Chains A and B, each alone.
Chain A
C-alpha cells in the first residue's frame, strides 16, 4: 500500500521529534533571536531623521531591538512547545486518512456565515441608523460599508481572473482606473448620465482587457503577472503625464453626482425627497450609493457563480489546474483566458465608475500598484476562488484597520501617535506570506474545482 509506506517513511522523524528536549528548543529559539538581531541591525536599531542642521541625525533604539528579539525568542519557543505537538499529530492523521473528507467538513461554516453576512449587508443602513440614533449619525458605518463593498466587488472581479482562471493579474487596478476615468470624462465632457456611463465604463474596461490580454495571455504565469503589472503602471503614468486628457496628477474634479434613476438628490422641487414625499436628508444619497454598490457586487457574485456552471467556467477552472492538459483536450486556452480577463476587467470598470460617482473626484493617486496588491491580497487571503472567503477577507482587511484606528486603548498601550493604518500594509504582506506557507487554499473555504471526479487516480 502506498499509504502504509508513507507512514513508514515519516515515522522515524516523528520519533526523532519526540526526543527533542527543552535545551534543544531553547537553543533553536535563541538562534531565531540572534537572526532577528542581525536583521534588526541597523534598520531598526537606528532611525534616521532630518535634524535641525542640514544632514540626517541618528536616534538609537536598542530597546526596541531587544524587545523584538525577546518576542521572537518567546514566540518561537511557544511554537515549538505548543504547535510542535499539534503539527505532529496532524502529520500522522493526514497521512493515515485519505484527504477525501476535508472538503465536506470545510463547506459547513459557509452555510452559516454566507447568509448571515448577506443579511447584515442588506440591513446595514437600518442597523446603522438604529445603532447610532439617526441616519446622519450612522453615516460613518454606511461609508465604511460602501468602502468595504467596493473592495468586495473588486475582489470578486479579480477572483474571476486569479481564483477561477488562475491568471495572476497584478495590474487589475488599471481597469478600475479605466472605469473611473471613463465615467469622469464622459460625464464632464459629454454630460452623459451615470446610468449610461456605467455600462460604457464596463465596456471600455473590458475592451482594454482584451487589448492587453490578446498579446500577453500566451505567456506563462509569472511573466503574465509582470506584464500586467507593467501595463497597470503605464496606465497610471499616462494618466499622470497626459495633462490635457486626464488633468494630470491633479485629477478630475466636480464629477456629477449619482441620481436616483434620473431624479437628483437635491433639496428643492423635483428632487428625490419631494418626489417621494420625504423630508430632505443628504443621507438619502449615501444610502442609495450603499445599495448601488451592494447590487453591483451581488451581480458580480451572481455572474461568477453562474459562470462556474457553464462550460466556459469549467474550462477556466480546468485551466487553473493544468494548462497543458487543457490544451491537449482541445480547449482554446487563449480565448478561455481572454474571456476571464475581459470579464474581470469589466467588473473593475463598473467598480471604477462607481468609485468616480461616489467620490466626485478621481486622480491617478488612487490607482497605484499598492491598490492592485491590496485587491490581490484580498483574493489570496480569501482562498483564491472562494466567493465567501473573498468577502470575509475584504471585511477583515479593509474594515478592521478602520475600526482599529478608533480604538482608544491601543493608543494607551503603544503610545500617542500610534496609527494602526501604518501597520496595515505590513500585516497584509506578512499575511500573504503566511497564507502561502500554511493555508495556500484559503482560510475559511477551499477552492475546489466545481466538478471533480469521485476518486482521484494517483
Chain B
C-alpha cells in the first residue's frame, strides 16, 4: 500500500508534465485540426533554454535563492520558447493553410527533425546534467519498511500545473482572446467575417502552446536533472497520447489524459517491467485511437465534405 501510494505520487508528477505538453497539442488541434508533430521538440528546446539560463544565473551571476532562480528561468524560457512557437507557425504552418490535407503534418515532421538536429548541432549530442536544485522532501507517512515521501520538486510540479491549468481555463473561457479562439475552433470563416483576426488568434494559440511546453520543459529539467537533444520525441508522443486519450480539443481532457498516462506508465514500470513502459504508452495510443478516437471528454467528430 505504501509502495502504491509512493508510485501514485510519482505518477501524478510525471502526468502533470505530460498534461502541460498535451495542452499545446490539444489547443493547436482544436483550432486548426492539425497534429503539431514538432511540439515535443519545442518542449525539448525549451528545456535547453532553461538549462542555459539556469547555468548563467547560478554560475555566472551567483544567484543562490532557489525560488528566484526558478522564477526567472521559467519566465525567460516561456518568453523565448513562445518566440520559437511563433516563428515556427509563421514559417512552416501559416503558408500551408488551404494546401492539401497532409501538408501541415509533413511540414511539422520537418520542423521536428530540424529542431532536434539543430539542438544536436549547436549543443552537442551528449546528455546535459545539472546539479539538483531542490533536494528536500516532505515525509507523508512512515512505518518500519516504507516511507512515503513527496519531494519539494514534485510539489512544485503539481502546483505549477494546477495553477497554470486554472489560469488557462480562465483565459479560454472568460477573456476576449478565449472567445476568439473558441470561435475560430468552430468556424474559421465565420469568425473572420465577424471581425476576429483569425491569423493572430492562431499565432497566439501557438505562442501559448509553446509557453506551456516551456513550463513543462523547465519542470522536466528540474525533476530529472538531465536533458539531451533526443528527449523531445518520446515525451511528445506520450503527451499526444494523453491529448487523444482525454479527447483532443478539450483542455481539461488533456490534463486528465496526461495524469492517466503518467499513472499507467509509473505503475506499469513499478509492477510489470520497466523495459516495456514505452510500449505500454504506445499501445494505449493505438487502442484509444481505434476504439474511441473521440477520447474521454471529447466530442465525436463528424466528417464533412
| A contact residues vs B (CB 8 Å cutoff) | 35, 38-39, 41-44, 46-50, 54-56, 58, 166, 168, 170, 215-216, 219-223, 225-227, 229-231, 233-234, 237-238, 240-241, 324, 369-370, 373, 376-377, 380, 422-423, 425-426, 428-433, 435-437, 440
For this complex, into which size category does the number of interface residues on chain B fall?
A: 35 or more
Bound complex: CA A58 to CA B122 (Å) = 12
Give B214 Cβ to nearest chain A Cβ, in Å: 13
Q: Which residues of B contact A433 (CB under 8 A)?
A: 91-92, 107, 110-111, 114
Would you call B109 an interface residue if the criterion is a C-beta within 8 Å of the partner chain's C-beta atoms?
Answer: yes
Q: Which residues of A contact B109 (CB under 8 A)?
A: 170, 373, 376, 432
B237-269 contact mask (Cβ, 8 Å, vs A): 1 or 0 = 100110010000000000000000000000000
User: With contacts A50-B126, A369-B233, A428-B113 known, is A226 near B240, CB below 8 A?
Assistant: yes
Q: Which of B156-164, B188-196, B277-285 contacts A (4 or more CB under 8 A)?
A: B277-285
Q: Which residues of B contact A221 (CB under 8 A)?
A: 101-102, 105
Bound complex: CA A216 to CA B289 (Å) = 8
A-B contact pairs, 6 of them (CB 8 A): A42-B56, A216-B286, A230-B241, A230-B285, A234-B283, A237-B276
Q: Using a CB-CB cutoff of 8 Å, which residues 76-107 of chain B contact chain A?
A: 80, 83-84, 87, 91-92, 95-96, 99-107
B53 with A42: CB separation less than 8 A: yes
Q: Which residues of B contact A38 (CB under 8 A)?
A: 80, 83
Q: Which residues of A contact B35 (CB under 8 A)?
A: 222, 225-226
Q: Which residues of A contact B51 (CB under 8 A)?
A: 48, 56
User: With contacts A226-B35, A436-B99, A440-B100 known, is A431 near B278, CB below 8 A?
Assistant: no
Give B276 Cβ to nearest chain A Cβ, in Å: 6
**Of the residues A227, A238, A373, contact of B286 by C-beta under 8 Å:** A227
User: With contacts A48-B128, A223-B289, A426-B118 known, is A56 near B111, CB below 8 A?
Assistant: no
For the A-B complex with A54-B131, A221-B102, A370-B113 known, give 18 more contacts whose Cβ atoms are closer than 8 Å: A47-B122, A47-B123, A48-B52, A48-B124, A50-B126, A222-B102, A226-B35, A230-B283, A231-B286, A237-B279, A241-B275, A369-B233, A377-B113, A426-B117, A428-B113, A430-B114, A432-B113, A436-B110
Q: Which residues of B contact A425 (CB under 8 A)?
A: 113, 116-117
A440 with B99: CB separation less than 8 A: yes
A168 with B106: CB separation less than 8 A: yes
Give A458 Cβ to nearest chain B Cβ, in Å: 16
Would you call B150 an interface residue if the criterion is a C-beta within 8 Å of the partner chain's C-beta atoms?
Answer: no
**Of the residues A55, A227, A428, contact of B131 by C-beta under 8 Å:** A55
